[in-house]
Amino acid sequence: MMFLADLNGAAGYFLRRVFQKMIFTRRASKLILSPGVRFRGIDRIRIGDAVRIDEGACLDCYPQAEGIEVGHNCLLERNVTLSTGPLPASIIKLGQFVSIGVGSVLVAHTKIVIGNNVMIGPLSYITAGEHVTDLIDIPICKQGHRGQGVSIGNDVWIGTGVTILDGVTIGDGAIVGAGAVVTGPIDPYAIVVGVPARLLRFRSHKD
| Distance from C-alpha of 165 to C-alpha of 18, rounded to nearest angstrom | 39
| Distance from C-alpha of 74 to C-alpha of 51, rounded to nearest angstrom | 5
Are the CB atoms for 99 and 139 separated by under 8 Å? no
Neighbours of 198 (CB within 10 A): 12
Q: Is 131 a catalytic residue?
A: yes
Q: Choose the catalytic residue: 72, 109, 131, 205.
A: 131
| Distance from C-alpha of 109 to C-alpha of 130, rounded to nearest angstrom | 8
Q: Is the peptide bond before 196 cis (omega within 30 degrees of 0)?
A: yes
Nearest alpha-carbon partner for 47 in 22, 65, 29, 63: 29
| Distance from C-alpha of 105 to C-alpha of 172, rounded to nearest angstrom | 22
Sheet strands side by side (includes 75-76): 32-33, 52-53, 75-76, 99-100, 119-120, 157-158, 175-176, 190-193, 198-202
DSSP 182-205: E-S-B-TTEEEETTTTEEEEESSS
Return the active site residues.
Answer: 131
